[in-house]
Amino acid sequence: METITAEDVIKATGGKFLSRNAEVFAGLSIDSRTILEGELFIALRGHRFDGHDFLKKALEKGSGAIVDTLPDESIHGKTIIHVRDTTLDALQKIARYMRLKRNIPIIGVTGSNGKTTTKELIALILGTRYRVLKNRGNLNNDIGLPLSLAAIHDADEIGVLEMGASAPGEIKDLCEIAMPQYGVLTNISPAHLEGFKDIETVRRTKLELLAYTDVAVVNADDTFLMEGVRASGFKGWVVRYGIKKYAEIRATRIRLLKKGAVFHLRTAGNISLEIRAQVSGMFNIYNILAAASIGYLFNIDPEAMRKAIYSFAGIPMRLEIKDMDGIKIISDVYNANPASMKCALQELARIRKGRTIAVLGDMLELGDYEEEEHRQVGRLLQELSIDIFIAVGVRMACAAQEFKGRVYDVKSAEAAGRLLREIHKKGDTVLIKGSRGMNMERVLGG
């Protein structure tokens, strides 16, 4: 169990005790509903909530709290620390302090797609030799990353942290907290363009990682990314991975199966391994190569790496392949952007069995690119000869206009689910995908 002392908090934040009881905390919490015995509650403020309103509830189990507003009444028997800056600043300062106090190698993972899968694979591979700290789930933003990092344990030997961004400067801010020495850049593609405005800004933001790292692991087949790395003036060690272009870590003799893949992993150090993966799709081979690159850098035993990769069964809601009543379902409902949508549709076409049905929800946060990116989805559906298209949402209606096949236009995931149950036949292959805000898991009644 990780421990944070009251003195750690004071030193990190410059805060003051309003009351003092517990001297050691079992961890940090920002949610009064899930706080555990002995944890320290951080009363964060959001657009629609104020953690200070739930202080009493949190202290029923928690041993203390950090506040930036003085409580209306005195609290006894708990440690209450008041900070001058916001409680979010306090959380981030605590995370940075704990990271520097227990100085271990940190690997930062960013990119437009594949971050969570790559992070999980890296943690599995490194975990064959080291005790690994990683983000909880996909908590990769200015709250989730420091909350995960603050959980660092005395026994942790390496950290792997996913870093997300939806606006310029956010990767830099996360790096200031985590101070990574290694960086993994998976790819650059249109995502969160509402905050970035254009793909050049997406690239510039992701490349903020390079200013902090000594080693950069990069996707050699992503020409746009590689151009940015070269132009950045990065002076550290670049380790490339890929399939098409020369790379120190590469995949050859690839066989994509109905579920999973087999390929040969080759390294500049003359390692050659036959890899069997349970996860499907060419994009997942890239994620495996990125993780294997880190394994190579940390001298992980090749056989241990092979077993770790095979043990990875994927992440819930991300390209899960299921058989349901004679229908093959590809459930990729966690999120969507143009690049991940293209990959998922290509996978639908590749593993097709009988008719193909694409149930696609809106891709959100694309700003001025919104209409054209959705129209391109419609054209891709046509190009891939998808049989039936169920368009969910006002944006995906633009894609429906470009598709010349059998098409339905519905307003919600629930409506798409009802329609799918009416029209499906045994032997169909169905893809369900859309942005998180579209709740596409509800197509299957989730």
Q: Domain 102-311 is classified in which CATH homologous superfamily?
A: Mur-like, catalytic domain (3.40.1190.10)
Confidence at residue 2, expressed as pLDDT on a 0 to 100 scale: 59
What gap in Å lies between CA 341 and CA 433, rounded to an integer? Answer: 7
Measured CA distances, 369 to 194, 215, 298, 342, 375 (Å): 9, 34, 41, 16, 10
Segment 347-353 shows an average pLDDT of 94
Query: H or E element: which one contains 253?
Result: strand 249-256
DSSP 212: T
With beta carbons less than 8 A apart as the criterion, state whether 151 and 257 touch: no
Confidence at residue 194, expressed as pLDDT on a 0 to 100 scale: 83
Confidence at residue 237, expressed as pLDDT on a 0 to 100 scale: 98
In three state form, how does the secondary structure of the chain look?
CCCEEHHHHHHHHCCEEEECCCCEECCEECCCCCCCCCCEEECCECCCCEHHHHHHHHCCCCCEEEECCCCCCCCCCCEEEECCCCHHHHHHHHHHHHHHHCCCCEEEEECCCCHHHHHHHHHHHHCCCCCEEECCCCCCCCCHHHHHHCCCCCCCCEEEEECCCCCCCHHHHHHHHHCCCEEEECCCCCCCHHHHCCHHHHHHHHHHHHHCCCEEEEECCCHHHHHHHHHCCCCCEEEEEECCCCCCEEEEEEEECCCCEEEEEEECCCCEEEEEECCCCHHHHHHHHHHHHHHHHCCCCHHHHHHHHHHCCCCCCCCEEEEECCEEEEEECCCCCHHHHHHHHHHHHHCCCCCEEEEEECCCCCHHHHHHHHHHHHHHHHHCCCCEEEEECCCHHHHHHHCCCEEEEECCHHHHHHHHHHHCCCCCEEEEECCHHHCHHHHHCC
Segment 88-112 shows an average pLDDT of 97
Residue 345 has pLDDT above 90, yes or no: yes
Residue 1 has pLDDT above 50, yes or no: no
Segment 289-313 shows an average pLDDT of 97
Confidence at residue 3, expressed as pLDDT on a 0 to 100 scale: 81
Give 325's pLDDT tier (boundaries 50, 70, 90). Answer: confident
Average pLDDT value for the chain: 95
Instruction: Give start and end residues of each alpha helix (H) in 32-86.
Output: 55-58
Burial 261-294 (b: 16+ CB within 10 A, else e): bebebbbeeeeebebebbbbbbbbbbbbbbbbbb
Closest C-alpha to 432, from 411, 409, 416: 416
Confidence at residue 72, expressed as pLDDT on a 0 to 100 scale: 85
Residue with tokens 């005395």: 154
Confidence at residue 112, expressed as pLDDT on a 0 to 100 scale: 95
Which tops the pLDDT comparison, 103 or 374?
374
Segment 300-313 shows an average pLDDT of 97
Percentage above 90 pLDDT, the chain: 92
Q: pLDDT tens, 159-197? A: 999 999 999 999 999 999 999 999 999 999 987 778 888
Q: pLDDT tens, 370-392? A: 999 999 999 999 999 999 999 99
Helices and strands in the chain, H and E counts: 15, 22
Which tops the pLDDT comparison, 270 or 319?
319
Give 152's pLDDT tier (boundaries 50, 70, 90). Answer: very high
CATH top class, domain 320-444? alpha beta
Strand pairing category for 40-42 and 64-67: parallel
What gap in Å lies between CA 51 and CA 419, rounded to an integer? Answer: 42
Segment 115-138 shows an average pLDDT of 95
Q: pLDDT tens, 208-229? A: 999 999 999 999 999 999 999 9
Query: H or E element: which one contains 303?
Result: helix 302-311
Confidence at residue 348, expressed as pLDDT on a 0 to 100 scale: 97
Confidence at residue 446, expressed as pLDDT on a 0 to 100 scale: 62
Confidence at residue 352, expressed as pLDDT on a 0 to 100 scale: 93
- Tokens coding 265: 């992993």
CATH architecture of 4-92: 3-Layer(aba) Sandwich (3.40)
Question: How many C-beta neighbours within 10 Å does residue 146 have?
Answer: 27
With beta carbons less than 8 A apart as the criterion, state whether 194 and 366 touch: yes
Q: pLDDT tens, 236-268? A: 999 999 999 999 999 999 999 999 999 999 998
pTM value? 0.94
Closest C-alpha to 13, from 113, 93, 68, 118: 93
Domain ranges of the chain: 4-92, 102-311, 320-444
